[in-house]
Amino acid sequence: MQETTTTPAKSPVDDATYDLLQALTSKLEAIEAYELYAQDEGVRELFERLGREEAEHADALLSALRDRLSR
């Protein structure tokens, strides 16, 4: 089985940095969607909670990305 990479060929960033960027982007998009969904009655609390959890994950990813870029 051949190992594959997620970065495009000749990328200016290594695979792990790219993965952190992509994961952070996904988290930020989810937070934005949950804010929109939380406007609907009956599901507000759920989407607000999910948004808070995603924000915690985004903070962790951002911290890891900052650490990686500072090296």
Q: What's the pLDDT tens digit per position in 19-65?
A: 999 999 999 999 999 999 999 999 999 999 999 999 999 999 999 99
pTM: 0.81
**Would you state the structure tokens that stand for residue 6, as one six-digit string?**
């997620």
Q: Does 17 have pLDDT greater than 60?
A: yes
Question: Any idea of the CA torsion for 13, 16, 19, 21, to the nearest 10 degrees?
Answer: -60
How many angstroms separate the CA atoms of 30 and 40, rounded? 16
Domain map (residue ranges) of the chain:
15-70
Distance CA 67, CA 43 (A): 36
What pLDDT, on the 0 to 100 scale, is given for residue 47? 97
